[in-house]
Structure 1
Amino acid sequence: MTGNFIASSSIDIDADAERVWTVLTDPSAIKDFMFGTEASTDWTIGGPITWRGTWEGKDYEDKGVILEFEPGKRLVNTHFSPLSGQDDIPENYHTLTWTLEPQDGKTRLTLTQDKNGSPEEAKHAEGMWDSLVKSVKQIAERG
């Protein structure tokens, strides 16, 4: 890892924080908003989380650890993807931070990813996360 550039994506959702939280933590919703991935975790702090799927014709199994779990407020987990081509060592794990901020019956969802190696890498990640948070918005607003 050559840098610590932060990728960040935020969106306002016309749903309360409880509804948005449900979307973020429900395996079927995760599959919808996270590009078809199958997520597996028990949501305990220190516990593992895995994401399995196929991306551009390649099977993958990403992994991480749940670092924080505050229902309706904040979820923090590490993330490593072998598809990155990097070695599976701690310094190559990103930290994903999902923050929910209630705003008069609505919710601002912000997703950040640390340890991007360059401004270009951060910008690429932001593009992916922008698409993902828009999908979370669509699912949450469907009810």
Structure 2
Amino acid sequence: MEREHISRTSIVIQASRADVWDALVNPATAKQYFFGANVDTDWQVGSPITFSGAFNGNTYYEKGTVLQCMPKKLLQYSHWSDLEPLPDRPEHYRNWTFELTPQDAGVLLAVTEDNIPDEAKRARSDEFWAGVLATIKEIVEAKS
């Protein structure tokens, strides 16, 4: 599998970095933008992270490892999903990276997903992340 298929999506959120960061690491908030997923981790580097729930009538279990956690700046974890037809092996894990950059109008939240197997799945990831980021923006700006 090549790492050349990478999804990159970003959005400006009119809020503080602390508020945007909280949306990324608060399981109750994440459940709202990750389609009802239960997110479980302690956010320590090297710790496991799991996502579980049901989507379109299918139960799923996704997992990974927290790779980087720099509060209010950067969050990265690996990710594997049992919804994909790929075995649970290290070469099939994608890395999800969230970067927060201060902007005049708030915070630029950028997400990168790498190790996507093909262009069609990269396009699907772009759509997924555009929706997720729009929902994060809506949630965070409503609280600010």
With the shorter chain as reference, the TM-score category is over 0.9
What SS is found at the alignment partner of 2:136?
A: helix
2:112 corresponds in structure 1 to: 112
CA distances 1:3-33 after superposition (whole Å, capped 9, x unpaired): 5300011001010111100111111100001
- CA distance in 2 between counterparts of 1:2 and 1:71 reads 30
- CA distance in 2 between counterparts of 1:3 and 1:44 reads 25
TM-score normalised to structure 1 length: 0.96
Name the aligned partner's letter for residue 12 of structure 2: D
Name the aligned partner's letter for residue 75 of structure 1: L
CA distances 1:7-62 after superposition (whole Å, capped 9, x unpaired): 01100101011110011111110000111100000000000000011012111110
Within 5 Å, give how 1:39-118 maps onto structure 2. Answer: 39-104=39-104, 106-118=106-118
Structure 2 residue ranges without an equivalent (≥5): none
Name the aligned partner's letter for residue 25 of structure 1: V
1:7 corresponds in structure 2 to: 7
Tell me the CA shift for residue 2 of structure 1.
Answer: 4.8
Name the aligned partner's letter for residue 50 of structure 1: T
Within 5 Å, give how 1:115-134 maps onto structure 2. Answer: 115-134=115-134
Aligned-pair identity (%): 34
Moved over 2 A (4+): 1-4
- CA distance in 2 between counterparts of 1:102 and 1:74 reads 12
CA distance 1:66–1:3, change in 2 (3 Å): closer
What SS is found at the alignment partner of 1:11?
A: strand
TM-score normalised to structure 2 length: 0.96
Name the aligned partner's letter for residue 98 of structure 1: F
What SS is found at the alignment partner of 2:35?
A: coil
Cα RMSD after superposing both structures: 1.0
CA distances 1:98-128 after superposition (whole Å, capped 9, x unpaired): 0000113600000110011222211111100
Of 128-137 and 115-124, the range deviating more from structure 2: 115-124
Contact 2:5 / 2:122 at 8 angstroms: preserved in 1?
A: yes
- CA distance in 1 between counterparts of 2:2 and 2:82 reads 17
How many pairs were matched up? 143
